[in-house]
Amino acid sequence: IDSEKIILFKSQKNVGVGGAHHYDCQMAEAENFDFLLFVDQDSQLPRAFISKMVLGFHRLKKLYPRLSAIGPSWQDLRVDNWGQENSLKKNWLSQKKEKILNFLGANNTIISSGMLIWIPTLKNIGYPKKEYFIDLIDIEWCLRALSKNYQIKILKNIQIRHSLGEVKIIKKNLLRYQQPIRYYYSIRNSFLLFREKQFPLLFRIYILIKNLKEMQKIPFVPESIKSLLAALNGFKDGILARKGPFYK
């Protein structure tokens, strides 16, 4: 609290991740910072993470002159430690998914937690969108940067621990699912993202189908009725292109 190097900002209302990242970018530009680092509350960073990321950025900048952001690799210990057989299956699926993303032309999108942005590039790329509130904010911003011929890279030698969604064990199988509010935003924002015609069409279709298929899990998740209603509202508002920031 007494440190002159720390600015503690408490929002008077819930602006979501999108709003927080948007205002973070404004503050970083106003303060003439070089970098902006996003970190989720449940992410665990390795020792000397920031210095390694900054050094990694400068090293990659020599190879990629239009580099705008980098991110670490990440591991969800709740899933990755789920037995040797499941780990092997996950590795196989991860390799297949990477090939699919390469084919779709969006292999350089990264999650927001651990993302390090080079502030001078925000002038041309713009800020994360407040109206997305909580889902697909990072993917939309990365696709926007790529559409403007900027570059985004992953430092695979730096890894954070990060929890993605909720997990539940059903008959010795592990199910990854979302909270009701996340079903609303993931589906609604998938439709908003689909309307961004400057992004690769196949990837927009992939994101839309992927999030709609998540509805198949709803009968098996806690608060299934609430989750179903949220998903249906997200579908309706997505079709109608409603961009209200708050879920009701």
- The answer to whether 39 and 49 are in contact (CB under 8 A) is no
The residues pairing with 32 across neighbouring beta strands, listed in sequence order, are none
Extended strands (E) in 86-150: 116-118
pTM above 0.95, yes or no: no
Give the tens place of pLDDT for each residue, 127-144: 999 999 999 999 999 999
CA distance 233 to 227: 10
pLDDT tens for 185-239 read 999 999 999 999 999 999 999 999 999 999 999 999 999 999 999 999 999 999 9
Query: With 80 as the cut, is the pLDDT of residue 248 above it?
Result: no
Distances (CA, A) of 29 to 110, 117, 211: 22, 11, 33
Give just the sign of the alpha carbon dihedral 7, 12, 14, 15.
negative
